[in-house]
């Protein structure tokens, strides 16, 4: 990988697996949106950025310092996903899924944001999840001015902990409001130490998260994968259960894809959903 400061943008080259559409549309995040020109704008780690593809390069708004301190790690740009794809080609189905999903990278998201977002994602479609999260940030986050527009940071657990279901009612997130408040209080009061979970095994982190009211296997695994950066977690939703049942025998074990089961999950999820959508 190489990068160059282009005055207001950083050009990133030499990263074969860096497809913005696949990264932002594979179900792992909810705060990035594309305009009619395919330019993605989003908020992460308290910063706003615009990203675009041009002539094989990715351009990220900001300075070289912004890139080094925020975006290089956020996009996991020092990991070789091309090599991971090759390792995951354990059968014909995975060859198809990895070829189709080439370009996906697992974002290194804030652990609290991941926990709160995937609690809100339960029994929801992506459009509605994005709307709820956008409202949450607008109501409780900090305002940022960028490119003549207003954006909002994701509110911290400490910011949400004093609230209740009534104050979250305008978000229209239903029964999930109590889960969010409960999780915020657990994190703010130290009953759940998210930072320390990064040092524990995926299994231990998963069980710790499941102690929260409203957090089951799927949400916990999503947080372990997307919020704690443990690439061996394997979230199972309806799409994934269907794909596993169709392509693997009973008793399937995600360890087939270790130590990158979570990356395999994203390739499979993106592949089967895209096939369903576009045929």
pLDDT computed for residue 277 by the predictor: 59
pLDDT by residue, tens only, the chain of 279 residues:
999 999 999 999 999 999 999 999 999 999 999 999 999 999 999 999 999 999 999 999 999 999 999 999 999 999 999 999 999 999 999 999 999 999 999 999 999 999 999 999 998 899 999 999 999 999 999 999 999 999 999 999 999 999 999 999 999 999 999 999 999 999 999 999 998 999 999 999 999 999 999 999 999 999 999 999 999 999 999 889 999 999 998 889 999 999 999 999 999 999 998 876 544
Q: What is the spatial distance between Cα 158 and Cα 219, in angstroms, rounded to a whole number?
A: 21
pLDDT computed for residue 279 by the predictor: 45
pLDDT computed for residue 264 by the predictor: 98
Q: Six-digit token pair at 108?
A: 């290194």
pLDDT computed for residue 129 by the predictor: 96
Q: What is the spatial distance between Cα 20 and Cα 221, in angstroms, rounded to a whole number?
A: 23
pLDDT computed for residue 276 by the predictor: 67
Strands (E), the chain: 2-5, 9-13, 32-34, 40-44, 47-54, 57-61, 143-146, 149-152
From 174, 252, 251, 244, select the one nearest 214 (Cα to Cα): 174
pLDDT computed for residue 106 by the predictor: 98
Domains assigned to the chain: 2-78 (3.30.310.260), 111-227 (1.10.340.30)
In contact, 42 and 33? CB cutoff 8 Å: yes
Q: Six-digit token pair at 94?
A: 């995975």
pLDDT computed for residue 249 by the predictor: 87
Cβ contacts of 174 within 8 Å, gap of 6 or more:
none
pLDDT computed for residue 274 by the predictor: 86
């Amino acid at each position: 990988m190489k990068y160059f400061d282009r005055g207001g943008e950083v050009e990133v080259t030499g990263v074969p697996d860096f497809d913005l559409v696949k990264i932002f549309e594979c179900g792992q995040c909810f705060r990035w949106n594309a305009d009619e020109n395919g330019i993605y704008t989003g908020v992460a780690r308290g910063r706003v950025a615009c990203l675009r593809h041009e002539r094989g390069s990715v351009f990220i708004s900001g300075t070289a310092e912004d890139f080094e301190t925020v975006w290089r790690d956020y996009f996991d740009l020092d990991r070789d996903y091309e090599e991971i794809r090759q390792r995951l080609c354990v059968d014909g189905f995975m060859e198809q899924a990895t070829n189709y999903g080439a370009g996906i990278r697992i974002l290194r998201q804030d652990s609290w944001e991941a926990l709160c977002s995937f609690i809100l994602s339960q029994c929801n479609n992506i459009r509605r999840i994005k709307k709820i999260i956008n409202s949450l940030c607008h109501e409780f986050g900090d305002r940022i001015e960028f490119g003549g527009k207003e954006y909002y940071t994701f509110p911290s657990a400490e910011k949400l902990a004093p609230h209740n279901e009534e104050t979250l009612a305008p978000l229209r997130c239903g029964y999930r409001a109590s889960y969010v408040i409960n999780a915020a209080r657990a994190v703010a009061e130290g009953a759940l130490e998210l930072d320390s979970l990064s040092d524990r095994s995926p299994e231990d982190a998963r069980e710790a998260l499941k102690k929260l009211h409203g957090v089951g296997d799927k949400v916990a695994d999503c947080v372990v994968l997307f919020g704690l950066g443990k690439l061996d977690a394997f979230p199972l939703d309806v799409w994934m259960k269907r794909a596993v049942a169709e392509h693997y025998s009973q008793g399937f074990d995600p360890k087939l894809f270790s130590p990158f089961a979570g990356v395999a999950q994203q390739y499979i999820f993106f592949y089967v959903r895209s096939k369903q959508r576009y045929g």
